[in-house]
């Protein structure tokens, strides 16, 4: 009985650790999509901070029209996609751009999640029941995310609301009239920088793209994940693609920072 208790306790602690890990550590979308290996149409460029206190300068990835980046969504999430979550990015889109940064498709080819950058950005979300309808997608009027400047952008999705936090200052909340227990299918594909059949594609520089399985992470983006230039980057950030190790042999793993 004592041995059984110890084994059960060990398994319980392991499960708790795994749950906490998935809650605390965001999925590094760029790494999961192999962007640091510099595929065609991607090159390494200086990032948000050309000099950073107590650490080396930031590096980013310049995405050109030639880039075609996608992967099975299971490569990002081996389990379920979180119902409430944060999407965070440090990005400098080309001025005048109007294109999708990220698109997640179901197994049937339906776009379930997408972020359109440019003037009046759109947060596209469609659950397993087709809610909300396209005319009800959250729209953030009066904002231009494609002005040729660096922006720290974070979306917090909690219950039936989505909040945009822009450059650590501006906060806007919009209703997200999805169903209860909304789901995003992870059996399809994730496309970076475009959506299927669109001519417009993302062009610009990107340093970070993270998805966290909790809505609070978006509020902590500027403190924990993308601090100001007078603070060092978190040690978990693999900024330099020269230190990148390919994960191709283990494509089914959950890839995190």
201-216: average pLDDT: 97
Structure tokens, 155:
């979306």
pLDDT at res. 243: 38
In the chain, the DSSP E strands lie at 27-28, 42-46, 59-63, 69-72, 85-93, 99-105, 111-117, 122-125, 151-158, 161-166, 170-175, 189-192, 204-212
Per-residue pLDDT tens over the stretch 97-131: 999 999 999 999 999 999 999 999 999 999 999 99
* 251: confidence class by pLDDT, cuts 50, 70, 90: very low
Confidence of residue 232 (pLDDT cuts 50, 70, 90): confident
Q: Is the pLDDT of residue 211 over 50?
A: yes
Report residue 248's pLDDT band, with 50, 70 and 90 as the boundaries: very low
Kindly report the number of other CB atoms within 10 A of residue 248's CB atom.
Answer: 8
Give residue-wise pLDDT tens across range 160-203.
999 999 999 999 999 999 999 999 999 999 999 999 988 899 99
Determine how many CB atoms are found less than 10 A away from the CB of residue 229.
14
Band (pLDDT 50/70/90 cuts) for residue 4 is low
Q: Decide if 108 contacts 225 (C-beta within 8 A).
A: no
- φ and ψ at 188, to 5 degrees? -100, -145
**pLDDT of amino acid 146:** 93
Cα four-point dihedral sign 198, 72, 188, 115: negative
Task: Place 53 in a pLDDT band, splitting at 50, 70 and 90.
Answer: confident
Note the pLDDT of residue 14: 55
Q: Which residues in 164-180 are b (16+ Cβ under 10 Å) and which e?
A: bbbeeeeeeeeebebee
Phi, psi dihedrals of residue 96, rounded to the nearest 5°: 85, 0
Tell the residue number behind the tokens 């498709």, with chain if given: 105
The answer, yes or no, to whether residue 245 has pLDDT greater than 70, is: no
pLDDT of residue 197: 86
Query: Which is more confidently placed, 229 or 54?
Result: 229
Arithmetic mean of pLDDT over the chain: 86
Given a cut of 60, whether residue 50 has pLDDT beyond it is yes
Structural domains present in the chain: 26-250 (2.60.120.200)
What pLDDT, on the 0 to 100 scale, is given for residue 234? 77
Query: If you count DSSP H runs as helices and E runs as strands, how many of each does the chain have, helices first?
Result: 2, 13
């Amino acid at each position: 009985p004592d041995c059984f208790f110890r084994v059960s306790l060990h398994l319980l602690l392991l499960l708790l650790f795994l749950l906490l890990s998935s809650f605390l550590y965001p999925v590094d979308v760029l790494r999961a999509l192999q962007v640091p290996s510099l595929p065609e149409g991607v090159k390494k460029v200086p990032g948000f901070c050309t000099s950073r206190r107590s650490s080396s300068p930031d590096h980013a990835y310049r995405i050109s029209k030639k880039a075609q980046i996608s992967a099975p969504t299971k490569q990002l999430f081996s389990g379920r996609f979180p119902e409430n979550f944060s999407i965070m990015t440090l990005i400098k889109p080309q001025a005048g751009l109007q294109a999708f940064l990220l698109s997640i498709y179901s197994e049937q080819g339906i776009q379930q999640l997408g972020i359109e950058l440019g003037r009046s950005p759109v947060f596209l979300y469609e659950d397993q029941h087709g809610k909300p309808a396209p005319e009800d997608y959250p729209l953030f009027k009066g904002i231009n995310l494609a002005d040729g400047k660096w922006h720290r952008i974070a979306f917090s999705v909690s219950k039936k609301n989505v909040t945009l936090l822009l450059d650590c200052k501006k906060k806007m909340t919009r209703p997200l009239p999805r169903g209860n227990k909304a789901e995003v299918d992870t059996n399809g594909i994730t496309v970076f920088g475009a959506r299927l059949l669109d001519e417009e594609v993302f062009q610009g520089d990107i340093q970070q793209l993270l998805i966290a399985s909790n809505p609070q992470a978006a509020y902590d983006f500027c403190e924990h994940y993308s601090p100001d230039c007078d603070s060092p980057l978190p040690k978990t950030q693999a900024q330099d693609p020269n230190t990148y190790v390919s994960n191709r042999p283990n494509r089914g793993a959950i890839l995190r920072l």
